[in-house]
Amino acid sequence: MQSESTMTGHASAPGKLMLAGEYSVLDGGRALAVALDGELQVRCDAFHETGAPGSATTILELHSNLWPEPKTIVIDHDEEISSEDPYVDAAISALSAWASKPAKVIFQVSANLDPTHGAGSSSALRLAVLASAKHIAAGSLINLAELADSALELQRRGQPAASGYDIAVQSRGGLIEFRRGASRSLSLRSEDHLDKLASCVTLMVGGIGAPTGPTMKIFMEWLVARASQTELMQLSESMVDAWQEFLSASENTALPALIKAVAEHRAFMAESPVFPQRVATALENIPGLDVSWTWKTTGAGGEDAVLLIGAAAALIEPRLALARIGWCPSPFKFTQQGLTTW
């Protein structure tokens, strides 16, 4: 007979947005990323058999606001089990948090991160599932660095080339610079950079989506075939520098240089087979393109989401043009909030 759960763990992870560093981050380049205030919440309840030191098997019950019915899985702790489903895989891995295995663990996920928006729903899921279980089992403050490493290990089962930038920014929040596992905050203790981003950047969503794995595979094959890795790295590093100069400058004095760097990067990306040509066609004849405003793809590219960059008045026409093909501004704002547990 099972006792009632005496402890419940909760965790919440934010969304994410990559501003610069697509693909070059995989070769040691820098990436800039920022947290979004969309969130994925997980509640974890663990049930132990009364008087038992630990269970030989654990029943996992997985709920999600995206599913009509829960999934139930029986885990034998004498066997090594993993799953291609990121939710199932994270839940199985989370059981390692307990030295004395529960007889049953219930995870309940509630998220407003649309997978087609490239906002980091799968990395947020891994982080929050692991964190909610560790909040119960550890009985102390969670080691954020160790948690991020565990989430990245899970992510690389499905995406072997994953850099970990998304987990880095979602665990810490705010705006970060990331390179080969090391990250530093660019907005710690100040909202100035996030306010600057909000004044000149609009994230647009509404495309068909671009799953990271397949999109990355096509792009990387194209990149290697034309031996353009060095060119992409140079363009990407210049764009990271331009972003940082823009964020640090007074008012919008560095905006023209940022627009130029983004335009040069986009011209390179436009030759790839995953570039969103429908978006490009909608925007190409709008006055001021690459002079007073510009745009770029995010993440793996494709039609996950795009950034419009420029002063607010200059983005009116581009926003209207994308609205005519079914796109709209993302409902999320930039945030300092990272992973939280309670």
- The CATH number assigned to the domain holding 259 equals 3.30.70.890
State residue 188's pLDDT score: 58
Q: Which residues pair with 305 in a beta bridge?
A: 205
- Residues 63, 198 within the same domain: no
Is 335 inside any structural domain?
no
Beta pairing, strands 182-185 & 71-76: unpaired
| Structure token pair of residue 143 | 């080691």
| Structure token pair of residue 97 | 């948090």
State residue 54's pLDDT score: 79
- Residues 170, 199 within the same domain: no
Is 290 inside any structural domain?
yes
pTM score, whole prediction:
0.91
Q: What is the Rg, in whole angstroms, of the alpha carbon atoms belonging to the chain?
A: 21
- Residues 157, 228 within the same domain: no
CA atoms within 13 A on the CB side of 104: 13
Which CATH number belongs to the domain containing residue 110 in this structure?
3.30.230.10
C-alpha to C-alpha distance for 109 and 135, rounded to whole angstroms: 16
Is 1 inside any structural domain?
no
Is 334 inside any structural domain?
no
| Structure token pair of residue 219 | 């792009």
Is 338 inside any structural domain?
no
Structural domain of 79: 8-187
Beta pairing, strands 104-111 & 57-64: parallel
DSSP for 145-211, written as a single string: HHHHHHHHHHHHHH-TT--SHHHHHHHH-SEEEEETTEEEESSTT-SHHHHHHHHHEEEEE-S----
Own/partner long-range contacts of 139-144 (Cβ < 8 Å, ≥24 apart): 142/341, 144/171, 144/172, 144/339
CA distances from 324 to 25, 149, 236, 274, 304 (A): 34, 42, 30, 22, 17
Number of domains within the chain: 2
- Residues 203, 313 within the same domain: yes
- Residues 154, 293 within the same domain: no
- Residues 43, 171 within the same domain: yes
What are the 10-residue block averages of pLDDT along the chain, 342 residues in total?
A: 70 96 93 95 92 84 93 93 92 94 96 83 95 87 88 91 92 93 71 89 86 85 96 97 93 95 97 95 97 93 90 97 96 95 94
Q: Which of 163, 162, 132, 165 is nearest to 147 (CA)?
A: 132
C-alpha to C-alpha distance for 167 and 127, rounded to whole angstroms: 7
C-alpha to C-alpha distance for 278 and 282, rounded to whole angstroms: 6
Cα distance from N-terminal residue to C-terminal residue, the chain:
28
Of the residues 152, 168, 187, which one is the last residue of a structural domain?
187
Which spans in the chain are helix H? 86-94, 121-137, 144-158, 165-172, 192-200, 212-225, 229-248, 255-269, 277-283, 316-323
Of the residues 187, 210, 237, which one is the last residue of a structural domain?
187
